[in-house]
Amino acid sequence: NAGVTQTPKFQVLKTGQSMTLQCAQDMNHNSMYWYRQDPGMGLRLIYYSASEGTTDKGEVPNGYNVSRLNKREFSLRLESAAPSQTSVYFCASTEAKHSYEQYFGPGTRLTVT
Amino acid sequence: AQSVTQLGSHVSVSEGALVLLRCNYSSSVPPYLFWYVQYPNQGLQLLLKYTTGATLVKGINGFEAEFKKSETSFHLTKPSAHMSDAAEYFCAVSINNNDMRFGAGTRLTVKP
């Protein structure tokens, strides 16, 4: 049982390049989330998916798109990376029936130059 | 929307001393409250949570927190700090499954 996995662990992009961050969970959870973590700001929600086939914007969605490929996988895409998107990105999931506890992946550290 | 304020971005204690990390929240409805811990270069791990019922909540690694509605607080404590407790701690509040708000975090340093 791997929990929540994310790839890649590290990535460096040039301004304007695109990339997709991958996330998968093996806990059969319904809801999945993408957060970004910046120093002094905690975690902020980018997008979430309450169930397979649905996605919704969070607190900071601009510059990102997401795809809920199936129940296991939830990807985050940066179409045209900007230096302001330099951050650590975390994927999380939750069962949704219990107490809203979220399980986090190990994170992707992204630098945009 | 709900929000969380963590008082003190850095807290330093000596090994064996009391750990107290402060968290205040605002919420228009009864919240669920959480403390997460993040070790360097890792994801967040749940320490403890308050949903309903007993207001004193015990978590892993000897940590506990008390929900005080009158003070809108959910402070995290541990009677005796260990070197392995050095990490960043996040308080979070949620009123539904799709809107969890995190505090800015408190970095705990434990001195030998």
Are the CB atoms for A47 and A108 separated by under 8 Å? no
Judge whether A108 is closer than 8 Å to chain B, CB to CB: no
3-state DSSP assignment of residue B86: coil
Chain A CB contacts of B46 below 8 Å: 101-103
Maximum mean pLDDT: which of A32-46, B26-40, B71-85, B94-108: B71-85
Judge whether A24 is closer than 8 Å to chain B, CB to CB: no
- Note the pLDDT tens digit of each residue in A20-78: 999 999 999 999 999 999 988 889 999 999 888 899 999 999 999 999 989 999 999 99
A107–chain B nearest CA distance, Å: 6
The pLDDT score that the predictor gives to residue B46 is: 93
Distance of alpha carbon B20 from alpha carbon B79, whole angstroms: 9
Are the CB atoms for A44 and A58 separated by under 8 Å? yes
- Note the pLDDT tens digit of each residue in A78-105: 999 999 999 999 999 998 666 678 899 9
CB contact under 8 A, B96 and A44: no
Nearest to B108 by CA among B72, B73, B61: B61
